[in-house]
């Protein structure tokens, strides 16, 4: 199994020093949401870099600054890193002005990642609303690449319209696979060509029978998704420590020093970003 020692090796002796990485692909998924594929310039680092699903990196954009971004690619697909970045601020704006072959800086991986050892042997339910797929995609492909580690894998993914679905084609390609139950839905289908479910994300629960005591649920999405999905999971009998969520906070260091991501006494950067729902309701201001 993976390699915490390997992960630790990635943490360079200088925790704030980014390593140069090259943009090898920019995929424009939906407006203001691009997928950047990056490769470390140092071939040894490119080959040895390992992360856990749910971890993040700090990305430095020259002449702009540094921000945390969750890793969207699976640890089982080595060599490159994929980051799904939404254009919202100064640093992401500068990143969007870069082109293929331009250099950025990367350091990490940081954070706890999903508790894979606990999750092994269970059913895995992944629920992504809106842009929630960004931090969950690493888990999705990691689980599919280690298929025998999990019993059933169920994916629920919702977006406002077909155009807004992150990784839409990729998700659609999973629908016919027999090793995963992939349920996709959109709130509205203006073009009338959407072949999958229509309606709100929670309605997908009507299409599958879950086994809550033997399932881990990983949830990510906007506040409205949390509100309805968490309610639904609790009603189904999910224990609060079997519901996992990825949180975002302002971060300046990523390694538990700068204080920005502190909630109560947990640092999102080192104690998270993956928290159980139980943690979330016990820490003030969590979601």
Partner 1 sequence: MKMLKLPKSKLDFFAAVTQQFGEVHAPVQVQGGFVFRRLHRWSEARLDYQRTLLPPKKYFLPPQETLLRYRSTAGYEPCSEDLDRRIVLFGLHPCDIYALNLLDRVFGPPFADPYYTSRRRNIAIIGMDCMPDERCFCSSMRSDFVDRGFDLFLSDIGDDYFTLVGSARGDDMVLASGPLFSPVSPADVDQYKRRSAAKRRAFRLDVEIRDLPEIFEMEYESGIWEELGRRCLACGSCSMVCPTCYCFDVRDQVELGSRDGVRVRRWDSCLFLAHARVAGGENFRRSRAARIKMRYYHKQRGFVAQYGRPSCVGCGRCLTACPAGIAVTEVIAQLRETRHAASC
Residues in contact with partner 1 by CB under 8 A are 11, 13-18, 20, 60, 62-67, 86, 88-89, 92, 103, 105, 248-250, 252-253, 255-260, 262-265, 284-285
**Min dist. Cβ of residue 258 to partner 1 (A):** 5
| Residue 18 or 158 with smaller CB distance to partner 1 | 18
| Residue 83 or 126 with smaller CB distance to partner 1 | 83
Alpha-carbon distances of 139 from 95, 127, 261, rounded to whole Å: 25, 11, 23
Rg (CA), the chain: 18
| Residue 135 or 202 with smaller CB distance to partner 1 | 135
**Min dist. Cβ of residue 34 to partner 1 (A):** 15
**Min dist. Cβ of residue 282 to partner 1 (A):** 11
Angle, CA 6 vertex, CA 137 and CA 105 arms, to 5°: 65
**Min dist. Cβ of residue 15 to partner 1 (A):** 4
| Residue 28 or 260 with smaller CB distance to partner 1 | 260
Tokens matching residue 67: 């921000």
| Residue 148 or 285 with smaller CB distance to partner 1 | 285
**Min dist. Cβ of residue 78 to partner 1 (A):** 23
**Min dist. Cβ of residue 265 to partner 1 (A):** 3
| Residue 38 or 171 with smaller CB distance to partner 1 | 38
Alpha-carbon distances of 49 from 101, 106, 109, 133, 222, rounded to whole Å: 20, 11, 9, 22, 30
**Min dist. Cβ of residue 178 to partner 1 (A):** 39
**Min dist. Cβ of residue 46 to partner 1 (A):** 15
| Residue 102 or 211 with smaller CB distance to partner 1 | 102
Tokens matching residue 200: 């709100």
| Residue 93 or 237 with smaller CB distance to partner 1 | 93
């Amino acid at each position: 199994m993976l390699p915490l020692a390997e992960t630790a090796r990635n943490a360079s002796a200088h925790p704030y020093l980014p390593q140069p990485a090259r943009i090898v692909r920019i995929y424009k998924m939906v407006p203001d949401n691009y997928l950047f594929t990056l490769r470390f310039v140092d071939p040894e680092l490119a080959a040895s870099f390992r992360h856990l699903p749910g971890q993040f990196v700090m990305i430095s954009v020259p002449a702009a600054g540094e921000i945390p971004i969750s890793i969207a690619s699976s640890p089982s697909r080595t060599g490159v890193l994929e980051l799904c970045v939404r254009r919202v601020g100064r640093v992401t704006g500068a990143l969007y002005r870069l082109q293929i072959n331009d250099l950025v800086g990367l350091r990490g991986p940081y954070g706890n990642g999903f508790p894979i050892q606990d999750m092994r042997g269970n059913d895995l339910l992944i629920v992504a609303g809106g842009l929630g797929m960004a931090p969950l995609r690493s888990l999705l492909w990691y689980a599919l690449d280690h298929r025998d580690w999990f019993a059933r894998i169920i994916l629920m993914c919702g977006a406002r319209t077909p155009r807004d679905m992150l990784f839409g084609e990729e998700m659609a390609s999973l629908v016919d696979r027999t090793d995963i139950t992939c349920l996709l839905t959109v709130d509205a289908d203006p073009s009338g060509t959407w072949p999958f479910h229509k309606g709100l994300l929670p309605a997908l629960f009507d299409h599958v029978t879950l086994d809550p005591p033997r399932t881990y649920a990983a949830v990510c999405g906007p506040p409205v998704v949390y509100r309805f999905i968490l309610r639904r999971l609790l009603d189904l009998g999910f224990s609060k420590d079997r519901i996992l969520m990825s949180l975002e906070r302002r971060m300046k260091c990523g390694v538990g020093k700068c204080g920005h991501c502190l909630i109560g006494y947990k640092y999102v950067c080192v104690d998270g970003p993956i928290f159980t729902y139980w943690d979330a309701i016990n820490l003030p201001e969590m979601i």
